[in-house]
Every structure is written in C-alpha cells, then in structure tokens.
A and B are shown apart, each in its own frame.
Chain A
Amino acid sequence: MERKFIRISEKVADFMRDSDRDRSPDQFNNLALEVFEYQYRTIKPYRRLCEHKNKTPETVRDWTEIPAVPADAFKHFTLFAGQPDQIAKTFRSSGTTDARNSSKSFFSDTGIELMNRSVIANAARMLFPDDRRTRILALAPNPEIAPHMIMVHGMNQMIGQFGDEGSRFCIGAQGLDLKSLLDELQQCEKHAIAVTLMGSSFGFVHLFDAMEEQGLRLALPDGSRLMDAGGYKGRSRELERAEFVKWACALLGLLPKRVVNLLGMTELASQIYDGAIARSVRGAASAMTMKEPPHWVRTRILDPTTLEFGDLREIREAHCPGLLRHLDLANVERPMVVQSDDIGVGCEIEEGFGFEILRRASGSEPRGCSLSVEEFSRSRPDSTLSVSL
C-alpha cells in the first residue's frame, strides 16, 4: 500500500502544480476516484460507511458520489490509511481539554510533505499572489509550544516560504508579548517593511483592543496584509466580518482588500481562503467574504433536511443554506471528503463560484421533558459516560 500511497500523492502534488490551462476536465474526477479507492481499501471505518451506502470503487463513477465522513468521526475513530508506525505527526483540534472531544488527524512524512505543498500553493495563490516577501508576524504559539496545532504548522511553512528573516511567531511560553509586537510593528512602519499579520480571528481582537486602549494607530507600509483564521461561532458572521475588517483597516492602516479570512479544519490538509487579496490583484471586483477553494478542493452544500445537494453555482438568494462538504485531494491518507457542521451558502462570483459561511449548526434540541444528550451530560459533569454519539 505504501508504494501506492506515494504514487497517488505524487499525482496529487502534480495536479496542484498544474495551471488551469494544463488540467483536463476529467483529471480531478479521475484522481478523486483513485484516492477514493485507496481510502476505501485502507481506512476500515470509512470502508464500513461506504459499504452501508453501497458506494464502492466498483459503483462510484463521479467524485460527487464519494461518501463523506462527518468531521466528528475524527474524534471517534483512527482514520489513517497507513500503519500506526507510519504516523509522523498528529494534529488535534483545540478548544477542549477532553481528549475524547478533540479531532485527531494523523500524518505520515509523505502526508506532511503533501500538506506543505498544499499550504504553499494555496498561500501563493490567495495570500501572496504578488509574490512579495514580507515580515510575517504570526499571532500564534510557536511550533515547539503547540506542535499539535495544524494552523501553527501551516503558518510555519508560510514563514519559511514567504517570510523575511525577521519573521516569527509572537506567542511564546510567556504568552503574547503585545508590547514587543507593537514596537516591531512601529519599526516596520518606520522602515517601510511590509508586514503580514496572521493568526486566529480571536487573537486579533486582543491586538485591536490593546491598540484601541493605547490610542495607537498604525499605517503599515504598502504590501502589508492580514490573514485571520476561523471566526466567531454563534454570532452573525457577516456583521462580525465587516466590523473586523473595519477595525483592521482603521488601526493598522490596511486596505480592505488586504484583509483575508481563512477557513482551516484540523480534518483537512488544505485550507480555503476568501478572495479579498487574490481578486484585487487580478483586478476583479471585490467579493470579500466569499471563500474560493483551490482547484484540488471542491466544496458542495448539503441540505440535511432534504439530503439534497445545492450547487455552488446557485446564487445565494436563490436557495437555502446548507452544510458545507469539502473534498480535499491533499487528504490522501485521511478520508478526503469531510462533512462539516458549518452552515453556508453558495455564491456566484466572477470567474467562478465560491461559498460563504453563515454560522455553525448548533446542537439545538427542543425544550421539553424528554432528557436530551446534551442535558444528560451537563447534569452529570463527573460522568464517564460516552454521550457523544
């Protein structure tokens, strides 16, 4: 299996490199089917799912038929195509101290390499389309502190590829040193060093608050940009986003078309950016909040109430929101089709199609006298029950 894995990974890497012009229409489909067959043969829980759905390499002819695993499956199963001793790195989702409730993504050395290629190719397209080397300041813990964070790993790759020699992670063992970060930003402003700030959306809020408190306003040099990952769950995303961009521009002196949001999931090797920077470089009209998957990722929208798929081509007014489902070819050794709990709508944008995330599907249960899973687990905090299924 090992040799097969390496061969497929190489094909995927080649496919990532190919420009639009070089790709034939069937290429994505053929590659997806090949990866599917490999995963069907090697990832046991995934195979069970496929068998139940009667979707096997013999019956599946189109990538849209390939079964998806729910993102939660990464919490409950070891979803890895290789042998346990081939696992070189394990990434975990954050936000919870309970190991059972965090997703785990396993990578072999080859898998890491493929992910790195995806990160770089994607960043080159969406974050650094001007091919400019900037001072990357990551509002994130460094890889030694947070070896399990997939976002940190990706940022580290970007620092290596696109950062100047002063690029660094700003969160160390002592936490975020705001003062030195602000000092450095002022230095960059003074010496006309273009800066790329990257971090979690929440992290930036802290920075903004601190600047606001100190009455500090910067005008970062031309070529500077900001990339925030994630968002704020449970609140109106559109408002938050507009607000976020407004603050970033007011406090850092950035143009709105230099503020980009990234969707990253521990369960995927590739990320999905919105088109703010890429589109402005191409000279296309701004469509800031629309996410544009790279050509090795395809996103579809599932309406779980009807179990039908919406087409990304449908313009947002014309159809109901649904759950985003991503196919990531770079996930060769983990199930490549992942059903997320993000609710989004498809959008028509110039030269293609994208999507917009609206909110997360909450575990909403109607109130009543029948005990729900959520309430049961809440009522027994010490319970060792596995109530997650």
Chain B
Amino acid sequence: MAQEIASACWLHPDLRTSVATLPGGTTNFIKRYERAGKTTDVSFDLLSPEALRMVISFLRDRSERAMRKRTVLEIVELLDVAARRWLDPGYAPRQKAISLISDITGFSPEMVAHAIDEEQSSSRGPHLRQALTNELGNPAFLDGFQPNRRLGGFSYALGPGLVGAIFSSNIPALPHLEVMRAFLTKSACLGRVSAGEPIFLALYAETLYELDPEVASCLAVIYWERGDDEREAIFLNEIGHLVAYGGDGQIKRLLNVKPPALEATLHGHGVGFTYLARGALNRRSLDELADKVSYDFTIFDGHACLCPQICLVETGGEVSPREFALACAREMGQWAKHLPPRRLDLSEAAAKYRVRELYLMRESPADDLEVIAAPDDHSYLIVLERPEQFEPSPMGRFFRIAPISGFADVERLIGPLKEYLQCASVVFGAEETDEHRLLRRRLAEWGVSRLVPPGIMGRPSMMWHHDGMPCLGKMVRWCDNELVSPDMLLEDKGLSQGV
C-alpha cells in the first residue's frame, strides 16, 4: 500500500515557491530507516548553496516584519496554543509523530508520547512567560524600550535576528525548544535536523503555520549531510546565534569552524547522577523514592544527558542500599510496562546482551557486586556494586547502584567528571545538615547545573539555566538608556518611581 512519505524539511509555501524558481534549488532524496523489521522512508530536500542563501535572507526579512509587529506575549500565546494542540491525544500530527519517531528511533510509542507530553507541558504559556521573566526581568524589554527601575532609565533587549540550530536525535520530539527560544527573542530560526530523528520539527512547523502563517514564515527546517562543509559554512556565516547539540567531537569542531564573532550556545555531553543521603532512606517513603528514582533511570532509556548514569546510596540509613535496590527492581518492572524499552538494532542489542551476561558472570558478593535484577526480556538491569571510579553507563536502563559511606565517596566518584556534570538528583532527607549544604555547593562548583529531587530529572523546567547558561539571556543584546548619573541611583531611592 502506498503511504505518504514523511518530510524532514519544511519551508514556508512562499519560500518554497521562490526556491523552486532557482535552477537546481533543491535536490530531493529519500532516506530509508530500518529497525526491527519496520521500514520507514523519509524525504529530505538538500538546498543548493544559492537556495540556502535565499532561505536565510527570507527568514531575516520575515522576522523583521512578523516579529516586530507582535508583542512577545502574543508570540508566547501562539506557542501556548501550539503546545495545547500537541498535548491533545487526538491531534493527528501528534499521532503521526509518535508512530514515525518510534519506528525510526526505536523508542516505544509510549515513550515518545510521554516525551511529547512532558516537553509540551513545559512549553505552555505560563512557563514561557516565567522563563522570560527569569532571564530578562520583564518580557516586554523585547518589545522596545521599557522602564528599568534599577537602571534609572529604559532598556531594550534585541534578539539575534536569526538563530541557527543544529539538533541531535537522542531525545524524541525536543527540537521545538530551540524554535521557541528563537521566537521568544523575536528572532527567526533556521534548524538543521538530525538524521537520527528528522521528522518532528517539520510537523511542529506545520502546526505553527496553521496557527499563524506569518510567524511560521520565520522558521525553516533544513538538512545537510555531516561533512558538507560548504553548506555548513554558509549557515555559520549567516546566522546571528548558533545553538548546537552533539558529542564532544561535533562541539569541538563547530567551535573551530564557526566565525569567531558568532555567539554560540553549545550543549555537549552531560552526565547525570542520583545521590541519596542516609536521611532519605526510610521505610515509610521507600516505595515512593524507589518509584521516582526508577522513573529517572527509565526515561528516554538513558539516552539523554539529563538521565542518571549511577545512583549513589549512602549506607547507615534505615533502609540499606540493597533493600533500596530490591525496591527499585519492583518499580523498574512497572515502568517497563508503562514505558516499554527501546527496540534495538542488532548491534545495540548485542552490546546490551553482552553487558548483561558479563555482569552475571562477574557477580561476586565478596567483591561487593550483586546483580539485583536481570529480567529474561533484558528490559533492564539493576546491579549493586562499589566501583573504584565512575564508569559511564551503557544506557538502555542499566541501573547501577553504588553503596557509599558519605561525602568522600561522592567526591571520589563524581568529582573527576567535572567537565561533563550536568544534572543531579539529590535527596538529603528531612534534616539538612551543614555537610549537606556544603555538598550542594561543591556540586555546583564541580559543574552540576541542575539539582532536582528524583522523578523529574528528565523534565527540566523552562526556568533552568540549561547547562548553566541563561539561554534566552545569552541570545539577546541590550540597549540601555540611562537618564541619571549612577551616583544618584543609589542616593535617591525615590527616583525609580519617577521613571
């Protein structure tokens, strides 16, 4: 049966018409994805260098027009309506995205649906407004000069005009985050999708187009193959701000090839972990705690920088690390039912199989290694071990629980990871001691940029300084209109009322 082929790329119809006038403006090709017996074809359009330049100037032009005549709150409202649509289980593009992303990436449909719910819930209007307030003070600064009490004058925040985004594929249905950030700074967005998950952004663009074709004309979704230096160079030379996700190699390379003056927000590798102090380990809340930590080890099957790679559990609490691990074994089984594991390809499955079997052979209570749960369907693996040093998780719901005696062990295991530290789920228990406060500070000093309770590691708030950066704040440039000398600001507190 002939099926409509999904598109990875999206251009506004006006732009599409213009590009079509260029000889050889686009070259269409099909990528075939095969996983676990399912075949999915996705259509890609490769723009000629000339067409890419045309797209860029179109986006800049439209952002001048469309964004300027709207207030930032109107844009927030639009994004909110889009999020509401995507949250509706009956919304056809959502259903299409769930099925396609699942077929292409192997994530279970339940996991993709869950990811969309989580991400779009955080994309609702109140969250976006709050994020703007969090980073800019007053969202209206983006609409023109607004009174700035602390300055004793007026301030105006200007977006970069055109944000260029290079996406990764590890979290399903996430790329819209960068489109929102670009639009929230009243800038256009040119996104290069990842071949690993190429279809969500085009569907999201279509939603925006249905809601507001003019604003949607500030978005273009394109693709070029890795290693296509010519197109990448045009992209990097023409955008006003770069946002990129990727591995160490990709991020280092981009830093080398981007124009030195181009501002960039780069999201490289991250390592997350869970730390449970003994005060948190009591019988009364054991099941709830195990449920939440298990959820963190389930979400995205570990394929996100936000996900924990190790769970450090202090000994000496009312509940031992082993008892906690056994409680997690029950909960992981439940989560595997609610959010079934990714379908793996042969090599991934072979690697997962190997890790499991080697652990079963290694197990030795004398060496403090115990395999707590290794279900026959390989859906997850829980091991209790005392590693000498941190070892990255092979992912795929590999849940490593390390009994520790205290802060020194956290430092030994986590301290050396500085450059990669990102998200930590930490529970101290009812009573927070000076040591705990010190530890929290140390984690921040080591590089952790997000501390959360268990159960929400995979769902960052829009208010989070993503990887330690004010992502909206970083994109804007300020113009301040000062009306008084600085001395007067401190002397005359009544001044602010006058402005």
Which residues of A line the B interface, CB within 8 A? 45-46, 48-49, 52-53, 68-70, 72-73, 76-77, 303-305, 307, 320-323, 339, 341, 343, 361-373, 375-376, 378-379, 384-387, 389
Contacts and interface: CB of A to CB of B under 8 A. Distances in A.
Interface string B139-167: 00000000000000000000000000000
Nearest to B270: A369
B377 interface: yes
B350 A370 contact: no
Most buried by A among B245, B361, B374: B361
Interface stretch (B7-15, B299-307, B325-333): B299-307
Counting from the closest, the 4 A-B pairs by CB-CB distance are A368-B170, A304-B349, A361-B350, A369-B305
A235 to B, nearest CB: 15
Most buried by B among A76, A304, A364, A373: A304
B302 A370 contact: yes
Contact of B391 (A339, A341, A375, A389): A389
Given A48-B361, A370-B304, A375-B247, 18 more contacts: A46-B361, A52-B360, A52-B371, A69-B357, A76-B362, A339-B357, A341-B350, A341-B354, A366-B196, A367-B246, A368-B168, A368-B303, A368-B305, A370-B307, A371-B270, A373-B394, A384-B389, A387-B391
B251 to A, nearest CB: 9
Contacts of A46: 361
B169 A368 contact: yes
Contacts of B246: 367-369
A208 B288 CA distance: 67
B52 to A, nearest CB: 23
Most buried by A among B36, B37, B247, B248: B247
Contacts of A343: 346, 350
Contacts of B168: 367-369
B349 A373 contact: no
Nearest to A384: B389
A76 B303 CA distance: 26
Contact of A48 (B360, B378, B391): B360
A372 B355 CA distance: 14
B345 A364 contact: yes
B456 interface: no
A320 B39 CA distance: 14
Interface residues of B, number: 59
B353 interface: yes
Given A305-B345, A368-B303, A370-B170, A48 B350 contact: no
B324 interface: no
A77 B347 contact: no
Contact of A72 (B307, B348, B358): B358
A375 B170 contact: no
A118 B391 CA distance: 41
B460 to A, nearest CB: 12
Interface of B: 36-37, 105, 168-171, 194, 196, 245-248, 250, 267-271, 302-305, 307, 309, 343-355, 357-364, 371, 374, 376-378, 389-395, 420
A307 B343 CA distance: 12
Nearest to A71: B354
A355 to B, nearest CB: 15
Contacts of A48: 360-364
A307 B377 contact: yes
Contacts of A373: 391-394
A339 B360 CA distance: 14
B269 A323 contact: no
A49 B361 CA distance: 5
Nearest to B300: A370
A365 B394 CA distance: 9
Given A373-B394, A389-B391, A366 B350 contact: no
Contacts of B371: 52
A233 B196 CA distance: 24
Contacts of B305: 368-371
B361 A69 contact: yes
Contacts of A389: 355, 358-359, 362, 391
Contacts, number: 152
Contact of B357 (A73, A305, A363): A73
B335 to A, nearest CB: 18
B394 to A, nearest CB: 6
Most buried by B among A73, A376, A379: A376
Given A364-B345, A367-B194, A367-B196, A52 B363 contact: yes
Nearest to B350: A361
Contacts of B363: 48, 52
A367 B395 CA distance: 13
A375 B269 contact: yes
16 contacts: A49-B360, A52-B371, A70-B354, A73-B358, A304-B353, A361-B350, A361-B351, A366-B169, A367-B168, A367-B169, A368-B168, A368-B171, A368-B305, A369-B304, A373-B394, A385-B391
Contacts of B394: 372-373
A379 B346 CA distance: 26
Contacts of B357: 49, 68-70, 73, 339
Contacts of A376: 392
Nearest to B250: A367
Contact of B247 (A70, A73, A367, A385): A367
Contacts of B250: 367
B346 A304 contact: yes
Nearest to B354: A70
A307 B350 CA distance: 10
A342 to B, nearest CB: 10
A367 B392 contact: no
Contacts of A370: 170, 269-270, 302-305, 307, 395
B319 to A, nearest CB: 25
B346 A305 contact: yes
A13 to B, nearest CB: 29
Contact of B361 (A73, A366, A385, A386): A73
Contacts of A73: 357-358, 361
Contacts of B361: 45-46, 48-49, 69, 73, 76-77
A375 B248 contact: yes
Contacts of A368: 168-171, 196, 245-247, 303-305
A101 B384 CA distance: 24
A389 B392 CA distance: 9
Nearest to A320: B37
A77 B355 CA distance: 14
A52 B350 contact: no
Contact of B351 (A307, A363, A375, A385): A363
Contacts of B196: 366-368
B346 A323 contact: yes
A300 to B, nearest CB: 14
Contacts of A77: 361-362
A237 to B, nearest CB: 15
Contacts of A321: 346
Contact of A305 (B343, B360, B420): B343
A372 B392 contact: yes
A369 B351 CA distance: 19
A236 B344 CA distance: 22
Most buried by A among B347, B348, B378: B347
B248 A379 contact: yes
Contact of A70 (B271, B358, B378): B358
Most buried by B among A46, A369, A384: A369
A173 B69 CA distance: 80
A322 B346 CA distance: 7
A341 B378 CA distance: 18
Contacts of A68: 357
A144 to B, nearest CB: 34
A375 B395 CA distance: 13
Contact of B170 (A70, A367, A379): A367
Contacts of A362: 347
Contacts of B352: 304
